[in-house]
Every structure is written in structure tokens, then in C-alpha cells.
Amino acid sequence: MNLDQLSEEYRAAKDAESLARERRYEVERKISELVGTKDEGQITSKTERFKVTAKHKINRTIDAKKWEEIKDGLDPAIALHLIKYKPSLDLKGYRWIRDNDPAAFAIVSKAITSKPAKVGISVEELG
């Protein structure tokens, strides 16, 4: 197969994937209507053939600026149990150290796991 043929196959697969996802979302909505809804938690229903569990969640996020403004008004023990701080890698800084400070990079790299990511493919029709 040549690149044009594979590109055409790729686009067809992406279209089929989108249609399948839309169909799945529609079926999920209908199942949810049948088994019921609640704010949080799960509802399980059984048929002769299936056990269906609908998990209801609420996504919550923190406004970091607002948190900084209000956290001092709380007991520190309470604040400690509300917010988790998780180290995250500053990729720009990591690359700078890798390229400019081998001694620091040797230390830092002990705590960093690197693995290849999935290749991103983009196909656009010309003309």
C-alpha cells in the first residue's frame, strides 16, 4: 500500500470511529435513562443477561488563585486535607538542564521516567 491509500484508509477509520463514539454516547444516554440517575455514586441494574452499572460522578477542580486568597482563613490542618500538591515536570526547564548542565541533569534524571509517546498522525486532503 502506498501513502495515499493508507491516508485514505486512515481517514475512513477516523470517520468510523467518530460515528461509533457518537452511537455509544447515545446508547449510554438511553441506558442512563432506564437505570436512573443520581448526583454521585452508582446504580446497578440486572437483567437476565446483563449486570449494568451506571457510575455518576461530579468533576471538581480548584481555582488556584482563589485558593491562595482564602486558604489562610482556614485551620491549616483542614487546608492540608483539602488540597494535594503534586510535582509536575516543567519540560522547558528539563530540556534546558539536559542541554546545559550535565551534572544537574545526571541527578534530576534519576527521578524522571521517559518513554516514547504514541505518534500523532494528521491527514489533510490537498486541493
pLDDT of the residue at 79: 86
DSSP for 56-118, please give it: E-------HHHHHHHGGGS-HHHHHHH--------HHHHHHHHHH-HHHHHHHGGG----PPP
The pLDDT of residue 86 is: 87
| 10-residue mean pLDDT series, the chain (127 residues) | 95 97 96 91 94 94 93 90 90 96 96 93 87
Please give the pLDDT value at position 85: 85
Dig out the grid coordinates for 63 from the structure. Answer: 481555582
